[in-house]
Amino acid sequence: MTFYSYSYLKGGQTNWGIIKIAVISLLALAFLVFIIKYSRNKWDLKYKDLSIILGTLLLLAVAIQYSDFTNLRTASVQSGQLTVVIEKSAKKLDIKPESIAINDTSRNNDMLIKTPKGYYSLVFNGSGSEFLLSKVDLYEPDVTVVGE
């Protein structure tokens, strides 16, 4: 069973966004260079073809970046909700939030948390504003914690 640490959920951001933006910038710059070369040399069709190819790649890269951005925004909201749940659980159990790990990255009704005091089950009410925290015993747990 995989658990995710509080610091993993809190950090959650990666550097891939910077790399993607750099690639998009390079594509846009190359696209502009070939458009300028084509406008100066109207009879040289290789620049027109290269401009079309780079323009298509640029549109594809921007579409992928937009999709990743919306997915990242959704994941960030869900991680924020989980960090609040971890902080409330830590307060109820009188431990530090950094010592808690949770078994899912999106909130659902059958979640487990791993603490130094043992494993606990989280059951949310209908609106998701409150939860029940009850101690559970796992039979032969095979646990890995991501983010430690």
Q: CA distances (Å), 84 to each of 47, 75, 87, 141, in order? A: 54, 14, 5, 26
CA angle, residues 43, 35, 63, in degrees to nearest 5? 135
CA dist 16 and 138 (Å) reads 37
What was the pLDDT predicted at 53?
Answer: 92
Q: What is the pLDDT of residue 15?
A: 59
pTM score, two decimals? Answer: 0.58
pLDDT > 90: percent of the chain? 7
For residue 62, which amino acid is it? V
Angle at 90 between CA 102 and CA 144, to 5 degrees: 25
Give the separation between CA 91 and CA 138, rounded to whole angstroms: 23
